[in-house]
């Protein structure tokens, strides 16, 4: 499955807009937006879609998308990626990172020779889950149609036939989970000999899932002179090591000092202290009935176990609330159907295990309820990030019992570094170590 060296290719397409060239206080903008960049010579950020200087069709799609301007990570990542640089992007969930690589990939592809029969993709996007792969695909569909760039998503858990047909017909972009991609490569269905634009999305999650050996096998098959972009919400040592190995002279872009674990500040984080599982259910019903955030949009409820998800859907139905569940025991068809029902609003509440903690992008989620506390601060960050996406705001409720003291301490340490500090209910559980004063206490916003 090794690749051969091919003809040279172009990867620097950035044309600086005159307004950007004339801009004198870009460093102040970075400070205000909490954007840091590792290379002092990096191009200035762009403030508008027009300044990004994309082809006309892409700019028109951006302006029609309902967003007023680029997100902070897009502002800095677009000029770097369009310049042909390798980029490491560290940004929290909901920051708009998908378009950070999808749009430069389209520009890159349009400058290359057309695909010939038997050619594999020009751009390869690797993702840890089928849900994230499908989310990326929807963005590629939206922005690639005006330029005629074809894509397909390749992931396990579904029949190979339709994916194989797409690959056989030739597509410029393949969005893939590593295992299914390697299956097709070993079967000779596709190859990476034309691949000059490689993206590793949610690299930290791919490492969590044990994909490192598969990633290495894929990267071995891509041209060494490729352009590579890596995206991660966190910056653990093993991801840093992978970045040093896979990327060349990369520029590191961070938003909100993303290397330090933190939850998105566009979400109001509330903590509810419950004496036991029974009072936890009562608190949940209270939130369901009285929360404006739950009433105004969609909610995702996180449970620790698959069985808990099914029980919760039953509780919701008995209260006349339409709910659907998403967990590892569901078939791909059942998972797709649950997500479709949720996206379309046929059900307002999705009950999920951590399978939905990352890579699930539903724009109008206004509330996250951690019925069962997450096992780590990192899982908490990703759960909470399902609300308040793309610049919107949201509320996250976390229900805690005395047995959650360990993760409460971890969350308190993380939130101590945030603008709002540690909510008092969270601090009380963190200080408990198993003690609990009788009665059910509840602190609304949890402020001291």
Q: Where are the domains of the chain?
A: 18-255, 267-430
**Which carries the bigger pLDDT value, residue 137 or residue 293?**
137
Q: What is the pLDDT of residue 250?
A: 95
DSSP 406-417: HHHHHHHHHHTT
How would residue 43 be classed by pLDDT, with cut points 50, 70 and 90?
Answer: very high
Q: What is the pLDDT of residue 224?
A: 92
DSSP 188-256: TS---TT--EEEE-SHHHHHHTT-HHHHHHHHHTS-TT-EEEEEESS--HHHHHHHHHH-SSPEEEEES
Distance CA 365, CA 393 (A): 9
Distance CA 440, CA 448 (A): 18
Q: What is the pLDDT of residue 445?
A: 37
Tokens of 371: 């019925």
pTM: 0.66
- Residue 217, class by beta-carbon neighbours within 10 Å (0-12 exposed, 13-18 middle, 19+ buried)? middle
Residue carrying the six token digits 């008092």:
424
Do the beta carbons of residue 415 and residue 426 sit within 8 Å? yes
Give the residue-averaged pLDDT of 135-140.
Answer: 94
Topology given in CATH for the domain delimited by 267-430:
Rossmann fold (3.40.50)
pLDDT tens, position by position, 334-357: 888 888 899 888 998 999 988 755
- Beta bridge partner(s), residue 396: 269, 368
How would residue 443 be classed by pLDDT, with cut points 50, 70 and 90?
Answer: very low
Give the residue-averaged pLDDT of 162-191.
Answer: 96
Distance CA 158, CA 167 (A): 15
pLDDT tens, position by position, 143-160: 988 888 999 999 998 999
**From the candidate CATH numbers 3.40.50.300, 3.40.50.10860, 3.20.20.100, 1.10.1740.10, the one assigned to the domain spanning 18-255:** 3.40.50.300
Mean pLDDT of the residues in the chain? 86
**Which carries the bigger pLDDT value, residue 355 or residue 259?**
355
Q: What is the pLDDT of residue 262?
A: 59
Evaluate if residue 78 carries a pLDDT over 90.
Answer: yes
**Which carries the bigger pLDDT value, residue 263 or residue 168?**
168
Give the residue-averaged pLDDT of 183-196.
Answer: 96
How would residue 431 be classed by pLDDT, with cut points 50, 70 and 90?
Answer: confident
Where is average pLDDT lowest: 2-16, 54-68, 91-105, 216-230? 2-16
Distance CA 306, CA 445 (A): 29
Q: What is the pLDDT of residue 303?
A: 92
**Which carries the bigger pLDDT value, residue 225 or residue 297?**
225
Evaluate if residue 138 carries a pLDDT over 80.
Answer: yes
How would residue 384 be classed by pLDDT, with cut points 50, 70 and 90?
Answer: confident
Evaluate if residue 260 carries a pLDDT over 70.
Answer: no
Distance CA 87, CA 201 (A): 12
Q: Residues 287-304, buried b or exposed e (16+ Cβ, 10 A)?
A: bbeebebbeebbbbbbbe
Give the 3-state secondary structure of residue 175. Answer: strand
Do the beta carbons of residue 424 and residue 443 sit within 8 Å? yes
Span between the terminal Cα atoms of the chain, in Å: 59
pLDDT tens, position by position, 7-37: 788 888 898 999 999 999 899 999 999 899 9
Evaluate if residue 4 carries a pLDDT over 60.
Answer: no
Evaluate if residue 58 carries a pLDDT over 80.
Answer: yes
Evaluate if residue 438 carries a pLDDT over 70.
Answer: no
Distance CA 414, CA 378 (A): 10
Displacement of CA 332 from its chain's centroid (Å) = 20
**Which carries the bigger pLDDT value, residue 265 or residue 335?**
335
Tokens of 85: 């640089």
Q: Do domains 18-255 and 267-430 have the same CATH topology?
A: yes
Evaluate if residue 403 carries a pLDDT over 80.
Answer: yes
Do the beta carbons of residue 82 and residue 104 sit within 8 Å? yes
Q: What is the pLDDT of residue 436?
A: 39
């Amino acid at each position: 499955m090794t690749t051969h060296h091919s003809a040279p290719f172009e990867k620097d397409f950035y044309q600086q807009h005159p307004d950007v060239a004339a801009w004198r206080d870009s460093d102040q903008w970075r400070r205000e937006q909490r954007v840091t960049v590792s290379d002092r010579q990096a191009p200035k950020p762009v403030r508008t879609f027009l300044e990004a200087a994309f082809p006309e069709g892409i700019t028109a799609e951006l302006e029609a998308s309902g967003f007023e301007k680029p997100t902070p990570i897009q502002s800095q990542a677009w000029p770097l990626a369009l310049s042909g640089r390798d980029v490491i992007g560290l940004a929290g969930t909901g920051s708009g990172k998908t378009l950070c690589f999808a749009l430069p990939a389209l520009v890159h592809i349009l400058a290359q020779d057309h695909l010939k029969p038997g050619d594999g993709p020009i751009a390869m996007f690797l993702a840890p889950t089928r849900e994230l792969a499908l989310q990326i695909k929807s963005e590629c569909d939206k922005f690639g149609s005006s330029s005629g760039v074809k894509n397909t998503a390749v992931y396990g858990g579904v029949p190979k036939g339709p994916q194989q047909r797409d690959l056989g017909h030739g597509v410029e972009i393949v969005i893939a989970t590593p295992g299914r991609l390697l299956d097709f490569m070993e079967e000779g269905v596709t190859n990476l000999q034309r691949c000059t634009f490689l993206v590793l999305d949610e690299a930290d999650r791919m490492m969590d899932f044990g994909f490192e050996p598969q990633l290495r096998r894929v990267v071995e098959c891509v041209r060494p002179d490729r352009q590579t972009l890596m995206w991660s919400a966190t910056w653990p040592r093993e991801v840093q090591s992978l970045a040093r190995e896979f990327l060349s002279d990369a520029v590191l872009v961070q938003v909100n000092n993303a290397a330090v674990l933190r939850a998105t500040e566009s979400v109001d984080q509330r903590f509810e202290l419950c004496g036991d599982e029974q009072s936890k259910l009562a608190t949940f019903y209270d939130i369901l009935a009285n929360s404006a955030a739950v009433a105004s949009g969609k909610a995702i409820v996180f449970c620790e176990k698959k069985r808990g998800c099914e029980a919760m859907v039953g509780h919701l139905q008995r209260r006349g609330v339409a709910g659907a569940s998403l967990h590892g025991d569901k078939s791909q068809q059942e998972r797709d159907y649950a997500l479709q029902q949720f996206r379309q609003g046929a059900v307002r509440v999705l009950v999920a295990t951590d399978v939905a903690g990352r890579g699930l992008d539903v724009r109008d989620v206004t509330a996250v309820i951690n019925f069962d506390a997450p096992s780590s601060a990192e899982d908490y960050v990703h759960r909470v990030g399902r609300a308040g996406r793309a610049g919107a705001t949201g509320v996250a409720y976390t229900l805690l019992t005395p047995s959650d003291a360990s993760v409460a301490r971890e969350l308190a340490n993380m939130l101590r570094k945030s603008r709002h500090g540690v909510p008092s209910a969270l601090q009380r559980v963190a200080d408990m170590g198993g003690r609990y004063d009788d009665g059910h206490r509840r602190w609304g916003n949890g402020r001291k």
